[in-house]
């Protein structure tokens, strides 16, 4: 069996390299001795017959309308995947497009697909910098946030608690959203390359659904050593003590 990871709209939603999270999943699956592939999906006609995980990266605000239009052609599949437990990782504007909607600073709005709770709302100034998040059952996640909107309406279902940085903002102390196996986050990096534990948790879910066993391979241990060194350096720079 070949695990199929769909990379949604990589031509539009890859401003911060977040579409490469799909490659991280593919690589770690292969290192574990599993067959895996990444399928780039720009429209419904590109969809493979079977999907084991979905990655939707972040794009510029200039591409919001065209990205939304293309995602509308996939909304039935996105809702079905979310209901069936297919892991979906959405970052930045990709996450916002799956929400209730996006409010722009000029007063206009972009209607979301309603896959996850909450919406993006304007903030006074853009936030950039290190973001450290404590996530239940996974530990500390590190990344870089770069967004001009806060996120409200997901207070009951955050991905985790902010240890350093802003995250969802508005004084919530929270970052991201998690609804079942659908994850939305501001964490760039790409997040799965910087945080192998999160990648492995997604792969474990993928394999469980497919009736496969997942054990990280030897090459993963080598790469994870680099990620761990970088993670500790980022924690130190952010003034956060390692907690796991």
Domains of the chain: 2-238 (3.40.50.880)
Distance CA 134, CA 132 (A): 7
Average pLDDT value for residue range 119-133: 97
Q: What is the pLDDT of residue 197?
A: 97
Phi and psi at residue 104, in whole multiples of 5°?
-90, 160
Cβ count near 216 (within 10 Å): 18
Whether omega before 165 lies within 30 degrees of 0, making that bond cis, reads: no
- The confidence band for 40, taking pLDDT boundaries of 50, 70 and 90, is very high
Does residue 99 have a pLDDT over 90? yes
Q: What is the pLDDT of residue 244?
A: 61
Distance CA 120, CA 109 (A): 10
Average pLDDT value for residue range 179-187: 97
The per-residue pLDDT for range 202-230, each reduced to its tens digit, is 999 999 999 999 999 999 999 999 999 99
Question: Which pairing describes strands 174-175 and 160-164: parallel, antiparallel, or unpaired?
Answer: antiparallel
Q: What is the pLDDT of residue 243?
A: 80
CA dihedral 26, 31, 34, 39 (to 10 degrees): 10
Tokens read off for 53? 């995980």
Average pLDDT value for residue range 26-41: 98
Distance CA 17, CA 31 (A): 22
Q: What is the pLDDT of residue 184?
A: 98
The mean pLDDT of the chain is 96
Whose structure tokens read 């084991």? Answer: 52
Whose structure tokens read 């496969």? Answer: 212
Does residue 136 have a pLDDT over 70? yes
The per-residue pLDDT for range 68-85, each reduced to its tens digit, is 999 999 999 999 999 999
Mapped onto helix, strand or coil, the DSSP state of residue 51 is: coil
Q: Considering the chain, what percentage of its residues have pLDDT values greater than 70?
A: 100
Average pLDDT value for residue range 18-34: 98
Average pLDDT value for residue range 11-40: 97
CB 72 within 8 A of CB 105: no
Tell me if the pTM is above 0.85: yes
Query: What is Dmax (Cα atoms) for the chain?
Result: 51
Alpha-carbon distances of 63 from 12, 42, 81, 130, 237, rounded to whole Å: 7, 13, 24, 25, 33
Q: Which residues pair with 8 in a beta bridge?
A: 41, 56
């Amino acid at each position: 069996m070949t695990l199929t990871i769909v990379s949604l709209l990589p031509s539009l939603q890859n401003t911060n390299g977040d579409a490469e999270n799909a490659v991280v999943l593919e690589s770690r699956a292969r290192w574990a001795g599993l067959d895996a592939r990444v399928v780039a999906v720009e429209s419904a006609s590109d969809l493979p017959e079977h999907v084991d995980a979905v990655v939707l990266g972040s794009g510029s605000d200039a591409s919001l309308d065209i990205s939304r239009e293309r995602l509308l052609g996939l909304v039935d599949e996105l809702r079905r995947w979310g209901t069936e437990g297919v892991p979906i990782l959405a970052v930045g504007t990709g996450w916002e497009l799956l929400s209730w909607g996006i409010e722009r600073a000029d007063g206009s709005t972009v209607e979301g697909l309603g896959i996850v709770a909450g919406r993006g709302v304007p903030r006074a100034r853009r936030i950039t910098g290190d973001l450290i998040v404590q996530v239940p059952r996974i530990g500390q996640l590190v990344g870089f946030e770069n967004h001009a909107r806060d996120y409200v309406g997901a207070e009951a279902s955050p991905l985790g608690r902010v240890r350093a940085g802003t995250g969802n903002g508005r004084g919530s102390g929270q970052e991201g959203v998690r609804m079942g196996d659908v994850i939305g986050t501001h964490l760039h990096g790409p997040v799965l390359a910087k945080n192998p534990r999160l990648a492995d948790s997604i792969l474990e879910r993928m394999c469980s659904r497919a009736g496969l066993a997942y054990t990280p391979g030897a090459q993963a241990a080598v790469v994870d050593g680099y990620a761990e060194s970088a993670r500790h350096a980022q924690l130190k720079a952010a003034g956060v003590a390692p907690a796991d």
